[in-house]
Structure 1
Amino acid sequence: MNQHSNQVRNGGQLIVDRLRANGVDRVFTVPGESFLPVLDALHDAQDIQLVVCRQEGGATMMAEAHAKLSGRPGVCFVTRGPGSANALAGLHVAAQDSTPLLVFVGQVPSDFQQREAWQEVDVAALFGPVAKWALDAQHAERLPEHLNRAFATAQAGRKGPVVMGLPENLLYENVETAAAPTAVNAAQSHPAARDVEDLERRLAAARRPLAIFGGSGWSAEARDTLTHFVEARGIPVITGFRRQDRFDNTHPLYAGDAGLGMNPALAELIQGADLILAVGTRLGDITTRHYQLLSVPRPRQQVIHVHPQPEELGHVYQTDLAICAGVEAFAAALSPHTDRLPDDERRAWMERASQVHRGWVRPTESPGPVQLARIVRWLGQRLPPEAVISNGAGNYTLWVHRFYPFRALGSALAPTSGSMGYGLPAAIAAKLDNPSRPAVCFAGDGCFLMTCQELATAAQYGANVIVIAVNNGSYGSIRMHQERQYPGRRYGTDLVNPDLISLARAFGAEAERVTKTGDFEAVFERALSAQCPFLIELPLDPGILKP
């Protein structure tokens, strides 16, 4: 007999039943009285961990990072009005990063809606432009239908966020269930056989092909298959903006990442290619250096674009071959095609691409006693491949993405949306996902202070993350642009910060300040062995704006 056959379940229980059926094992929240039946149902769901956060933006960012690591939709519950508005920051990350995310908003009762009741929010109006689907549920008996659609929508095609408003009265209403819930099978697109044949012909004729790996929906198996494929054909690989873990950065075919502060030699390599194989990635403005490396709308290079969303193919660039497929399906179609060897001409192209990367990652020297490039490079040698490196936004990320060698899938958590404050919530999610794996958050002082309150969440749940706070007393990225546009007129970008060491300790973390490069290693070893979160502050001269 089915567990829930002919049983009566309230709205909160119906929701939790379907979370469990779809493999959800962790839910993030800032609790609200608007969804108490959900919290009560989670009380009895011993196989789902509830993580209570300190601010809704941090909660949605944790849920988004959890989705990236687990491959399943992240789930977050927030309350109406100000709670849902706070959650929008993490939703925007999920939208631009193509991450499956379900955000449930406790809503005012149905009879109060459209009266501007206390904390009322129009879910569709607020979240519709960002989410793949946003709705206010209106009938408790339709919750199973809506939940199935939510899971399917978040995972189908280009993955993304779904937001569902839950009027408070619906969660208390009882519904008779007819069958136990089952997992949703989201539709996935697959490449046609003729497309694979066309791909083979174009690659065989190309003299200087270049692959760009990025986007979401990657698995370790797909990554391995695609690695074997490019090895067999001698195709150098670059990774899209903040997607460095899509390809082993120590591999001889790796040519670098197409991100902020792009290697000029890499830009030349992209422009000199005669064929671009873009897998999973959107060809956005950062990866194409503001649409300059590939001409709009018709690039000089041949473009083969593989993406799961048909509307993304041809969205900016006219392609020579558009393949509507997810990364896993595309890799599976290529698995019989990994047994060839590149010719001598292709080998010369491979070596050129490899030299581009090797020269770029040699640590640079900056004024002052703290050499951030050397510290980041040392971390790449000290940490295991599976260690997770997270960051938010700011100039400090230029050092992280240039000098740290990302080797394993899932080792990079960084927002392509450029959201400040993301690094700490993401590192917490990573540590909760696998406590034995080091989780290191890089953050600028401005970035860290956006979500520093989540250190309390880390301490509460034993997520012993390491935060490396690069403190230059300014919004450095904005200052860099300001000084370029208005030399000598710096204004509005300087910060007066609290004592970060005392602040971290107040949250239950250990903390130390490193003022010389040579002292970093010993402090980091103490951080690795600490039984609580650990913050390492690196004071940096505010005049140092890039490597």
Structure 2
Amino acid sequence: SGPVLLSFPYNIQKELVDDAILDTIITQRRITAMRNNSLPVEDFTQLIAQANRPVIIAGYGSIKADAQQEIDQLSKCLNIPVTTSLKGKGVISEHSERSLGSLGVTSYSDARSYIVEQADLLIFLGAGFNERTSYLWDKTLLVGKKIIQVDTSPEQLEKVFKADLPILGDIKQVITGVLQQIKIDNLQKKQFSKMLHEKPIENDASLFNERFSLIKAFFNELEKHFSKDVMVFDDNIIFAQNFFNVSNGNRYYSNSGISSLGHAIPAAIGARFAIEHPALAILGDGGFQMCCMELMTAVNYNIPLTVIMFNNSTMGLIRKNQFQQYNKRFIDCDFINPDYKLLAASFGIEYRRVENTEDLNNLFENIDYNNNVNLIEIIIDKNLFPTYSSRR
């Protein structure tokens, strides 16, 4: 009983499927569950000991399990690099030398290339493998690699691939046991240097070229002024995923499931009711128009909130797909925006407009993000979008 989510990845939607095969699909999962408070930590550490270049892939399940500290300890203890799903950003500090950034179709980090070309053991911790994370996966990703998967949900175990060691259990408890076993086995650190493995990715030039300099500069300023204990709610996803490093108690909440527009502002308001940390809502002008009336909710309840709106007068993702896949045949993606300065004035909130890097000077010093409701409008070109679909 209750709601059910059926997830059909984009590439599957484009395939012709013979419905006769549906009755023959059988999924068998081998689950190593907790029994009598015993976990297979010896098997876990044995696989690590046998590996030369293990990598941790952590998802939002790691955050839900409050296992960030244990994962960071495991990574630091054995010098194992960590990449995350989009929702798992910040499991370890993204400023760490052991961080490979987040993984997925909208990421330009070198995580995928390291997994394909270097890693020989993949340690999945609470990763759900939604379309955004796994869309670019192919057979080369797992060739010659051992796999450990730990999750609290039996539905997630071996959902996408077969694991050499699937473990149904609490991630925090599992990693705590592994750390204890590592001391017993006296495992040595692995050879990993971020500087050695970082290399120019051929897609970078086309994915985020110099036209994105204003956006990069903005997120640099954002990190300087919100270096810790900030809550970021993000509809836009792709800019913050690549340019905002999560660390020092910062929390990043992406709307990465169905990606419904207009989520960031009400989500940030709700969170700010519960936790008195600075709250930021990042979204585009299309999403903003779907929920801008909620600014009045923040005003009525005196909820401090800073809204960052990228204004390109279009539905950027839709326009990007029509540009790249439909020969620039644009339909119902462009629109006319209101005067947001006047709109902010009508709400009685603070307003700032950013058109170039000079406008970033003292931007955050001149707004009171601890007490006021603020709207920051960033003007970008409607044709400014990363061309990541060329990698699909």
TM-score range, shorter chain: 0.7 to 0.9
Alignment of 1:129-148 (within 5 A): 129-130=4-5
Of residues 284, 303, 308 in structure 2, which corresponds to 1:468?
A: 308
Deviation at 1:432, TM superposition (A): 2.1
Confirm whether residue 277 of structure 1 aligns to residue 152 of structure 2. Answer: no
After TM superposition, the score normalised by the length of structure 2 is: 0.81
**Quick check: 1:419 aligned with 2:260?**
yes
Comparing 533-542 with 331-340, greater Cα deviation is found at: 331-340
What letter is aligned with 2:218?
I
Distance 1:220 1:320, change over 3 A: closer
Q: State the identity as a percent.
A: 24
Could you tell me how far apart the structure 2 residues matched to 1:450 and 1:531 are? 25
Tell me what 2:22 maps to. Answer: none
Partner residue, 2:216: 373
- The one-character-per-residue Cα deviations of 1:179-233 (angstroms, maximum 9, x if unpaired) are xxxxxxxxxx758645211010001101111111112363696211211112111
- Report how far residue 293 of structure 1 moved: 6.5
2:67 aligned partner: 222
Change (3 A) 1:190 1:532: farther
Pairs within 5 Å for 1:70-469: 128-130=3-5, 190=34, 193=38, 195-216=40-61, 218=63, 222-263=67-108, 265-272=110-117, 273-292=119-138, 300-337=144-181, 339=183, 342-343=188-189, 346-348=190-192, 351-353=195-197, 366-367=210-211, 371-393=214-236, 397-409=237-249, 411-417=251-257, 418-435=259-276, 437-469=277-309
Amino acid at match of 1:208: R
Q: Is the partner of 2:106 in helix, strand or coil?
A: coil
2:29 matched to which residue of 1? none
Q: Deviations over 1:256-289 (max 9, x none)?
A: 1003422263221111211110001112332233
Distance 1:338 1:353 in 2: 25
Does the 8 Å CA contact 1:255/1:353 hold for their aligned counterparts? no
> Structure 1 residues 241, 334: closer, same or farther in 2, change over 3 A?
same
Q: Which stretch of structure 1 is more off in the superposition, 278-287 or 317-326?
A: 278-287
> TM-score, normalization: structure 1?
0.59
Tell me if structure 1 keeps the 8 A contact 2:106–2:132: no
Alpha carbon RMSD of aligned pairs, Å?
2.9
Q: Which amino acid aligns with 2:160?
A: V
SS in 2 for 1:488: coil
Please tell me the residue identity of whatever aligns with 1:398.
I
Whole-angstrom distance in 1 between the partners of 2:182 and 2:220: 33
Distance in 1, matches of 2:169 and 2:65, equals 17
Instruction: Give the letter for the 2:232 counterpart.
Output: I
Instruction: Give the aligned residue type for 1:212.
Output: I
Checking the alignment, whether the CA contact within 8 Å between 2:62 and 2:91 is kept in structure 1 is: no
**Residues 509 and 220 (structure 1 numbering): CA distance in 2 closer, same or farther, change over 3 Å?**
farther
Q: Is the 8 A contact 2:315 2:334 kept in 1?
A: yes
Q: Deviations over 1:274-326 (max 9, x none)?
A: 1110001112332233432766xx75421111111112112221111101113
Q: Name the SS for the 2:73 alignment partner.
A: helix
- Report whether the alignment pairs 1:522 with 2:362: yes
**Per-residue Cα deviation, 1:25-64 (whole angstroms, up to 9, x for no partner):** xxxxxxxxxxxxxxxxxxxxxxxxxxxxxxxxxxxxxxxx
Following TM superposition, by how much is the alpha carbon of 1:242 offset from its aligned partner in structure 2, in angstroms? 3.0
Confirm whether residue 499 of structure 1 aligns to residue 344 of structure 2: no
CA-to-aligned-CA distance 1:340-372 (integer Å, 9 cap, x gap): 5644xx324555456689xx8xx966449x711
8 Å contact kept, 1:299–1:317: no
Rounded to whole Å, the distance in 1 between the matches of 2:188 and 2:292 is 50
State whether residues 109 and 242 of structure 2, in contact with CA within 8 Å, keep that contact through their aligned partners in structure 1: no
Over alpha carbons, which structure has the higher Rg?
A: 1
Q: Are 1:213 and 1:239, in contact at CA under 8 Å, matched by a contact in 2?
A: yes
Aligned counterparts of 2:304 and 2:151: Cα–Cα separation in 1: 37
Deviations for 1:5-31, whole angstroms, at most 9, x for unmatched residues?
xxxxxxxxxxxxxxxxxxxxxxxxxxx
1:259 to 1:385, Cα distance in 2 relative to 1, 3 A: farther
| Secondary structure of 2:362 counterpart | helix
Q: Tell me, what secondary structure is at the counterpart of 1:211?
A: strand
Cα distance change, pair 503–510 in 1 and its aligned pair in 2 (3 A): same
For 2:322, which of 473, 482, 493 is the aligned residue?
Answer: 482
Q: Which residues of structure 2 form unaligned runs of 5+?
A: 7-32, 388-392
Counterparts of 2:91 and 2:366 in 1: how far apart (Å)? 31
What are the superposed Cα offsets for residues 118-170 of structure 1, whole Å, 9 maximum, x if unpaired? Answer: xxxxxx6xx62249xxxxxxxxxxxxxxxxxxxxxxxxxxxxxxxxxxxxxxx
2: CA distance between counterparts of 1:371 and 1:278?
35
Aligned-pair CA distance for 1:484 = 0.7
SS in 1 for 2:40: helix
Against the structure 1 CA distance between its residues 242 and 509, is the aligned structure 2 distance closer, same or farther, given a 3 Å change threshold? same
Instruction: State the distance in 2 between where 1:285 and 1:299 align.
Output: 20
Query: How far is 1:473 from its partner?
Result: 0.3
Residue number in structure 2 paired with 1:85: none
1:30-41 mapped onto 2 (5 Å cutoff)? none
Q: Give the aligned residue type for 2:349.
A: A
Alpha-carbon contact 2:353-2:359 (below 8 Å) kept: no
Q: Do the aligned partners of 1:248 and 1:408 also contact (CA within 8 Å) in 2?
A: yes
